[in-house]
Amino acid sequence: MKIKTLIFSGIWTGIAVLAIFPQVSHYISQRLGIGVGNNLNVLIFTGFVVAFAFIHKLIHDTDHLEQTITKLVRAQSLLSVKRNSRRSRN
Amino acid sequence: MPKTFIIIPVHNEQRSVALVIKAVRKQGFNNIIVVDDGSVDDSVKLVQKSGARLITHAINRGKGAATKTGIDAALVLGADYLITMDGDGQHDPHDIPKLLSPLSRGFDVVLGYRTFSLMPFMKKIANILSNIFTGLLYGIWAKDSMCGFKGYTAGAARTIDPHQDDYEFENEIIAEIARHQLRFSQVPVRTIYTNYSSHKSTRLDLPHAAKIVYKLLFTP
């Protein structure tokens, strides 16, 4: 929990710093050697891939959750039908 | 005499559900299962009053989920043939024998198809795109992949195992027919586009359609 809080605090602080001082991004990219040649394109493309993977995971998880809810709702609604059918057979 | 069950999924259909049940009865079919998919109007009261068998979903889970519940209930109750139809009154119960006929001749599934020329413009576009998409994806060129008026033998209903809860359920049925190599037939059905059935809100808007395509393509 503490590590998670630390990571998220770091991310949000980074976003806040970049929003207030955009020139920081230029300084960082120069220090890291990106922004020269095709490096930036690779970085942007990787960003897209990561974002797509996140969205896919999110949709998949939501879908799984929805299917679990549906299973429960359907099972509960069919209980009386199954009970009555068993009773009439006995 | 084979036991035929008519399955009608409904969600807030107080304006039409009682009339649909009455019309089905008039055709001589008394095994009617209405699955109420979490309606907040008087649909449940009207179904109870009609004497049809009512199954209720505690919360709204979508047309596909409700249809599946109806199919499962019919199988538990010993159905030989199962017919699914919409609760908004757009399907004509006079067509039920037309759907049953191929089943009695050995087909596993019967798909109803509507006349596209009578369809509201946006629905027509959505349906044409759905047909092309289904054909490309599953190799079955259904004349109307989104039509909910279908017939199944008990064996086919047991074999088919769809997972989607909403309108994509209809496309998934086509996928399941292809997967299990079921024998299917397509029959024309009459569609009654009343002011109500044409304009009632569905979740078939563009973002939802995009989600359907995404789910069918990328989820197992």
**Tens digits of per-residue pLDDT, B115-154?**
877 777 877 888 888 899 889 989 999 999 889 999 999 9
Q: Measure in Å the smallest separation between the Cα of A70 and chain B Cα atoms.
A: 6
Residues of B in contact with A80 (CB under 8 A): 55
**Nearest residue of chain B to residue A80 (CA atoms):** B55
Question: Which candidate from B69, B77, B215 shows the least CB-CB separation from A85?
Answer: B77
Can you list the alpha helix ranges (DSSP code H) found in A1-90? 2-20, 23-32, 39-89
**Tens digits of per-residue pLDDT, B151-187?**
999 999 999 999 888 888 998 999 999 999 999 999 9
Residue B59 has φ and ψ, to the nearest 5°, of -135, 160
Q: Looking at the predicted structure, is the pLDDT value of residue A38 above 70?
A: no
* Averaged pLDDT, A19-42: 77
Q: Is the dihedral of CA B21, B104, A89, B76 positive or negative?
A: negative
User: Are B76 and A73 a contacting pair at CB < 8 A?
Assistant: no
Model pLDDT, residue B52 = 95
* Tokens linked to B99: 């759907």
**pTM score:** 0.81
Q: Which one, of B169, B147, B145, B168, lies nearest residue B70 by Cα?
A: B169
Model pLDDT, residue B163 = 86
Question: Which candidate from A60, A66, A85 shows the least CB-CB separation from B76?
Answer: A85
* Tokens linked to A34: 């990106």
Can you list the alpha helix ranges (DSSP code H) found in chain B? 17-26, 43-50, 63-76, 96-104, 121-138, 154-159, 168-179, 195-199, 206-218
State the pLDDT confidence band at A82, using cuts at 50, 70 and 90.
confident
Q: Looking at the predicted structure, is the pLDDT value of residue A47 above 90?
A: no
Q: Which one, of B72, B31, B35, lies nearest residue B160 by Cα?
A: B72
Residues of A in contact with B65 (CB under 8 A): 70, 73-74
**Interaxial angle between packed helices B17-26 and B43-50, expressed in degrees from 0 to 180 and rounded to the nearest 10:** 20
User: Are A74 and B215 a contacting pair at CB < 8 A?
Assistant: no
Alpha-carbon distances of A60 from A64, A81, B44, B170, B201, rounded to whole Å? 6, 32, 33, 20, 26
Interface test with A, best of B5, B69, B211 (most A CBs within 10 A): B69
Residue entry with tokens 């991310």: A11
Q: Looking at the predicted structure, is the pLDDT value of residue B220 above 70?
A: no
